Amino acid sequence: MAHVSDPATADSVLDAKPENRVWKKFRSHRSAMLGVFLVAFFVIIAVAAPILPIQDPTATSWSAVRAAPSAAHPFGTDEIGRDVLSRLIWGAQASLMAGVVSVAIALCFGVPLGIAAGYFGGWTDTVISRCTEALLAAPFLILAIALAAFLGPSLGNAMIAIGLSATPIFIRLTRGQVIAVAAEDYVESAHAIGLPTRKILTRYIFPNVLPPVLVQATLTVATAIIAEASLSFLGLGQQPPAPSWGSMLNTAKNFLNQAPWMALWPGIAIFLVVLGFNLLGDGLRDALDPRET
């Protein structure tokens, strides 16, 4: 990797710190930067939705039902005259929230269980690993659909369903990572000098488990956003009239002939935000991979 291109930061002392090396590598990764840009764009419009000069996403207008794109409605209107652009912008909130919250749920359960299984081994490991295997056998979306169905349809329940369905991935990843790290010399010496388990876990195991978990979490946000859109598309996620990209597409498919714009934009939005998280995850993986330095 060419460090010379940026002499101001190519300070040898800074370079020695792994965080700086990773950051530099990440920053020079062109597609990762595109990912950062895409994700940042959607986060900004989602956060700024209340102050943007757009129409009320739930305001209906019978005089502008399924109106084609125009100056007043740049992306057209839907079947009851709501502005597609403003629903799209507010829908970003639901999508991003679903992605982040469900991954947070998966991390909260998955990482501690994975650490417990990997570090303590024995029966703890057997029980946790068997359950993980069983859960992994059910396809992610089928499990999420079943959970969402049994919990009842709402955005909150969709997040719980997606989060729980994604948990086994994190248990397995963390467990494998912990087993690898626990065999390292520095962990053994920490044992030898008599550090308590809690300290070993928080000071030595956890920080070393984090990078691959972070990469997986980023990629899972992408999967979770698609999953939320899928559940909302099936009517198991965000409930009307609150806007969500998945439910917008669900309605749009009934008006393909009369109002194709209703179907176009929510799909493009999902595609771009998911692509953003995928690029970000791939970039993080490359930057954090110590083998490639």
Interface positions with other proteins (CB under 8 A): 130-131, 133-135, 137-143, 145-152, 222, 226, 229-230, 233-236, 249, 252-253, 256-257, 260, 263-264, 266-267, 270-271, 274-275, 278-279, 282
Q: Give 169 or 187: the residue with its C-beta nearer to other proteins.
A: 169
Q: Is 81 left (phi over 0), alpha (psi -120 to 50) or beta?
A: left
Distances (CA, A) of 272 to 9, 41, 102: 32, 10, 19
Q: Give 86 or 278: the residue with its C-beta nearer to other proteins.
A: 278
CB of 147 to other proteins, least distance (A): 7
Residues 53, 57, 62, CA angle at the centre, nearest 5°? 110
CB of 164 to other proteins, least distance (A): 11
CB of 14 to other proteins, least distance (A): 30
Separation between Cα atoms, residue 11 and residue 4, nearest integer Å: 10
Q: Give 190 or 219: the residue with its C-beta nearer to other proteins.
A: 219
Q: Give 169 or 181: the residue with its C-beta nearer to other proteins.
A: 169
214-229 exposure pattern, b = at least 16 Cβ within 10 A, e = fewer: ebbbbbbbbbbbbbbb
Q: Give 119 or 261: the residue with its C-beta nearer to other proteins.
A: 261
Q: Give 212 or 283: the residue with its C-beta nearer to other proteins.
A: 283
CB of 137 to other proteins, least distance (A): 4
Q: Is 254 left (phi over 0), alpha (psi -120 to 50) or beta?
A: alpha
CB of 237 to other proteins, least distance (A): 12
Q: Give 18 or 260: the residue with its C-beta nearer to other proteins.
A: 260
CB of 129 to other proteins, least distance (A): 10
CB of 133 to other proteins, least distance (A): 5
